[in-house]
Structure 1
Amino acid sequence: MTAGRWIGLCFALVLAAATPPGRAQQATPEAASGVDTKPAVRAHRHMAVTANPHATDAALQVLREGGSATDAAVAAALVLNVVEPQSSGIGGGGFMLVHDARRGRRIAYDGRERAPAAADDTLFLDADGKPMAFFDAVVGGRSVGVPGLLRMLALAHRDHGRLPWARLVAPAIRLAQDGFAVSPRLHALLAADRFLADDPGARALFYDAQGRALAVGTRLRNPALAEVLRKVAANGPDAFYTGSIARDIVARVRSVRHPGRLSLADLRDYRAMRRPVLCGPYRQYTVCGMPPPSSGGGTVLEILGLLTRFDLPALAPGSAFAMHLFAEAGRLAFADRDAWYGDPATMAVSPRALIAPAYLKRRAARIDPTRAHPGAVLPGRPEGVAAVPARSPERPSTSHLSIVDDAGNAVALTASIENAFGSRTLVDGFLLNNQLTDFSFSPRGVSGPHPNRAGSRRQPRSSMSPTLVYDARGQLYAVLGSPGGSHIINYVAATVVGLLDWHLPPDQVLAMPHVSNRNRMTEVEDTSAGRQLATSLATLFGQAVTLRDLTSGLHVIVRDGPDWVGAADPRREGTVGVD
């Protein structure tokens, strides 16, 4: 062992002893993020945590009227389309986990976009057969998948709703018609975007006569979206997937820059799906997430499974040693994610094979507690298959909400139009997604067809990770999730570690600086505490570290005895609503 590695190991052992087991309730100075915090909120009855105060208010009012968690999620998701158009909406899709307290079951709802029937694996290859530049692929019609959000919300409402559908759409209609004040975050994103103002409809809606982003506080009205939502309120999702709205979507997709292949039949035939929830053990808890086409649930479980080898509860929360182990687990799990995940029909490996105890034990043996792996690692090889290492880009936008109702039902819902402002294509007041750019642009990896290649009616791989956690008695313990592109997986996994290993209150977990390794350099949130942590990771463990903004939007609800405790990420505009 070299002197450097011996010093690193000694430091690690000191850190491991710094906080005795059962004494990890308070974050160390190294764990403070340097970002503003939002205090946790306690409630006995019900709680809604969403990305925007308007959405939180809409959800809370539904809960007050006796609506279910699913009802509140529908209302909040539609309001988010109005007030947070850069992140999610009816032009995109989402994933939703529902905890049904009365029936004692949990259900995953898949509203992920699908490629048009006419798509094939050359979708993002140029005339020379080479992958397109990312934003050449994003902007325009080629990147638009069949939106799934409305079908998913309606399916979940049919299963779990109490209040009428039209009641749930009403808050979004009112805000679209009457308007809302442009927030600092929306203004900043509008001002920074290079492409949105090129769309005539978006320019008229989001920019002033001089082409400047609407100022903070300006009342933004969207009567076209209000009219679409009125039709959806009266006639359900069929009003969106057939008729004049569907014709407008298809006409726009086929006429803009880089026209797409979407058809009226693609919209008419789209169906949301119920899927089995993907669950696995972590310590004495059970963690449940979304199965493919999301890679989120499986990769979160793989990170946690790799970490079970180490006694994290005995370590100081957020310490350099703990974050080194977390980064190395992320490195290994992301190698598997990039190689194996895609549309369920194209995956050669089951997620269960990647979180099987024997497989995790073999993979975890590759984690050196004293030294970072020098660069990217290869994916693991479950028996009988060949690895297909390749990457596909995934950019952060997205929104998440967590809700519990009076009866103990819960929803974790993550929705997205993919990149900020999606494909920069506005139709009838809403933006269309660019989710098809989540496919691998190259249809083949080094060993054969990529599992995340584009194709007819396929669903692109996602990292969205709505998550439910259950305690040893099978009682719902936590509801959480985040936006953030492929970083979502590390945000969620780290939050689970903070809640379950260190028993930190949710607001303290959300205040810790982020560490994210996606089988590349270790990325650390660029805050004062993050910079100190990055120095320790590089000096003591040889981590190749880069500092950057890591703008999560975690929304967490945790059970504390008879009460719920909720927290919204201080990095965004989210709020907690309680009675």
Structure 2
Amino acid sequence: MNFRIWVLGVFSAGLLSCSAEEKQTEKVTDTPKQQAMVVTANPHATKAGLDVLRAGGSAVDAAIAIEAVLSLVEPQSSGLAGGAFMVHFDSETKKLAVYDGRESAPSGATADMFLLENGDSMPFIQAKNSGLSTGAPGVLAMLSMAHEEQGTLEWGSLFSHASKLAKEGFEISPRLHGMLVRFGKYIPSTPEQGPTDAYEYFFDDAGVAHPEGYLLKNPEYAKTLEIIAKDPSAFYHGEIAKDIAAMVQQEPRAGSLTAEDIAAYKPVKREALCQDYRDTQICGVPPPSSWLAVGMIMGILENGPKPTTAGPSDPRNWAILAQAQQLAYADRDQFIADPDFVDMPIKGMLNKEYLASRAKLISDRSTPLTYAVGNPWAYNDTPSDQTAGIDATQDVHGTTHFVIVDTKGDVVSMTATVESIFGTTRMVGGMFLNNQLTDFSFQHTDKNGNAIANAVAPNKRPRSSMSPSIVLDKNGEFLMATGSPGGNNIIAYTVKTMVGVFEWGLDPQAAVDLPNMVARGKTVRLEKGATPEAIISAMKDLGFDVDASRGENSGLSVILRKPDGTLEGAADKRREGVIGVL
């Protein structure tokens, strides 16, 4: 039987993009296999994933190879010293599993660690570029756990693609170069500013960022991969952990993370949360992920005003979506945190009656309200008389997302991150250290003295906006996988793909290409340059506080199973998205 590989690469700098198509035909003699697909934000990563699937690897095997490559070629977004969430669908058992690799705060973390002497919050860039912000890395332990349960190839074989790139070099992509030009000023260039490893890695002797196309080598990362390939636990119990702790404890703004904290880290396998939506189930990650807001938005839309057949051309449909976002974001900000530290009305937030009551607040009036927090506790199994403090968390972009369907039909939807761009800018073993602890609220109480759910605490996992999602059809079969990077915008970006496909009848690529809209609080941000002026004007006329923002830079990756069983992928042109089909 013949099979063909289509790899569609979309390379972008900002919102400008171009595409190239490569076709390759190979001869196989085994029995026919189900179509497989990989969608990532980088062509090297997509190739690594396809190579693993071609060798008989599972979706989890491919995810490991992909993340190892992304840690090298997309270091501004994610890395093996960061964290991740994975949703996995087993096509044989029809069961979903969630693997939680979110970082955790060190045992020495304190509630006021991001506060100045006068009680004000530390400026974000100071907190980010510091040892204070690094949590115990979780992605590698999570991937190891998933591999033990779902892997088919040998663990050590999954790092060869990344290792070769690290040794032989990879060309700096347009997006990576653009990040260095825009944000290089925040990378310490003198010891007084902080460790200078990243500066020496990315800049020449004259202080100029290496150009697009420059062949960048990372022998230190290759050494790290050799250690990891032999034994993933060596990352947590050997010299790598000691080196990470030593780097974190360097001034300025030294952190408390120790090698013992890293050794004590444990990934968590959780049950997926699922929300009924029409004749499908939309499923994702429970807290500390904020996926609950994705489920809430879709539940509110199902119970709210029906969209018109004009889809994205009708401002009324955008107005309905904006208000559903405002309602869900309000609850998300108030309640979501690490479940080991905070009680949450999870069942109440997804309760059909509660969502219907929230949907009734959606209005066609010309002066839409910015909606306050609801009371999901009234619909929860267990009540609470505690008043949660008003959230003060700052969410910053710097993440990646990819989706995989293997030849068996198993599915992975995974979002990984180092938090902000280039994490802390501190490097160990060729990897960037995460600044995930800035995903906590810097303040631990609000102005009324109420405790904020997402405040810092020892060994606590910060709330995440990462929302990898899998949609199942009425028979419990895989229908769609989606997700995105983008800080707190992830929720809105991910929902956009579902709304585009299920509410507005678009194909996956058209849904991804839709203008991004984020309605969190009073302001509704619409993607400048992508949103028609007629929609922007109409939303203003409807009473929304509209900000036409250039910063709505998603990185969506989507796979949809069509009625005939074939797969259709979509990659975000706003980044360097690549679709690979096997």
Common fold, TM-score beyond 0.5?
Answer: yes
Residue 423 of structure 1 is matched in structure 2 by 424
Residues of 1 paired with 2:159 and 2:307: CA distance?
44
SS in structure 1 at match of 2:377: coil
Residue 527 of structure 2 is matched in structure 1 by 525
8 Å Cα contact 1:69/1:404 also seen in 2:
yes
Residues of 2 paired with 1:153 and 1:66: CA distance?
18
Residues of 2 paired with 1:284 and 1:543: CA distance?
32
1:104 aligns with 2:94: yes
Residues of 1 paired with 2:407 and 2:467: CA distance?
24
Encode CA deviations 1:301-326: one digit per residue, 9 max, x unaligned: 11111111235454322121111011
1:228 aligns with 2:217: no
One-letter identity of the residue aligned with 1:353: G
Q: Kindly report which structure 2 residues correspond to 1:222-261, keeping only aligned pairs within 5 A, or say none.
A: 222-235=218-231, 237-261=232-256
Residues of 1 paired with 2:146 and 2:502: CA distance?
29
Residue 505 of structure 2 is matched in structure 1 by 503
Q: Kindly report which structure 2 residues correspond to 1:176-215, keeping only aligned pairs within 5 A, or say none.
A: 176-193=166-183, 194-198=185-189, 199-215=195-211
1:360 aligns with 2:355: yes
- Aligned to 1:576, which of 571, 575, 579? 579
The aligned length equals: 543
Q: Kindly report which structure 2 residues correspond to 1:215-364, keeping only aligned pairs within 5 A, or say none.
A: 215-235=211-231, 237-295=232-290, 297-310=291-304, 312=306, 314-318=308-312, 319-364=314-359
Residues of 1 paired with 2:21 and 2:377: CA distance?
42
Offset at residue 562 of structure 1 (A): 1.7
One-letter identity of the residue aligned with 2:573: P
Offset at residue 200 of structure 1 (A): 1.6
Greater shift in the superposed pair: 134-143 or 122-131? 122-131
- Aligned to 2:55, which of 55, 62, 65? 65
Encode CA deviations 1:126-179: one digit per residue, 9 max, x unaligned: 222221111111111000011101000111011100001111111111111111
8 Å Cα contact 2:76/2:422 also seen in 1:
yes
Gaps of 5+ in 1: 1-33
Residues of 1 paired with 2:530 and 2:252: CA distance?
43
One-letter identity of the residue aligned with 1:202: A
Greater shift in the superposed pair: 125-134 or 276-285? 125-134
| Distance of aligned partners of 1:40 and 1:524 in 2 relative to their CA distance in 1, 3 Å threshold | farther
Residue 120 of structure 1 is matched in structure 2 by 110
Offset at residue 263 of structure 1 (A): 0.8
Offset at residue 361 of structure 1 (A): 1.8
Residue 7 of structure 1 is matched in structure 2 by none
Residues of 2 paired with 1:350 and 1:457: CA distance?
22
Residues of 1 paired with 2:533 and 2:245: CA distance?
48
Residues of 2 paired with 1:179 and 1:476: CA distance?
37
Residue 496 of structure 2 is matched in structure 1 by 494
One-letter identity of the residue aligned with 1:162: T
One-letter identity of the residue aligned with 1:138: K
Residues of 1 paired with 2:254 and 2:368: CA distance?
43
Residues of 2 paired with 1:378 and 1:278: CA distance?
21
Encode CA deviations 1:503-545: one digit per residue, 9 max, x unaligned: 3111111111111101130000001534332111001x11110
Encode CA deviations 1:88-123: one digit per residue, 9 max, x unaligned: 001100000000112221100000000001112112
1:157 aligns with 2:153: no
8 Å Cα contact 1:39/1:567 also seen in 2:
no
Q: Kindly report which structure 2 residues correspond to 1:8-157, keeping only aligned pairs within 5 A, or say none.
A: 45-157=35-147
1:175 aligns with 2:191: no
8 Å Cα contact 1:387/1:447 also seen in 2:
no
Residues of 2 paired with 1:403 and 1:417: CA distance?
21
Residues of 2 paired with 1:564 and 1:102: CA distance?
18
Greater shift in the superposed pair: 247-256 or 106-115? 247-256
Offset at residue 35 of structure 1 (A): 6.9
SS in structure 2 at match of 1:473: coil
Residue 535 of structure 1 is matched in structure 2 by 537
8 Å Cα contact 1:207/1:213 also seen in 2:
yes
SS in structure 1 at match of 2:98: strand
Gaps of 5+ in 2: 1-14, 24-32, 190-194, 379-383
1:454 aligns with 2:445: no
8 Å Cα contact 2:87/2:96 also seen in 1:
yes
Greater shift in the superposed pair: 178-187 or 350-359? 350-359
Residue 13 of structure 1 is matched in structure 2 by none
One-letter identity of the residue aligned with 1:569: D
8 Å Cα contact 1:397/1:485 also seen in 2:
yes
One-letter identity of the residue aligned with 2:405: V
Greater shift in the superposed pair: 420-429 or 456-465? 420-429
One-letter identity of the residue aligned with 1:562: G
One-letter identity of the residue aligned with 1:247: K
Residue 477 of structure 1 is matched in structure 2 by 479
1:559 aligns with 2:549: no
Residue 26 of structure 2 is matched in structure 1 by none
Tell me the percent identity.
38
Offset at residue 372 of structure 1 (A): 4.5
Higher fraction of helix: 1
Offset at residue 547 of structure 1 (A): 0.9
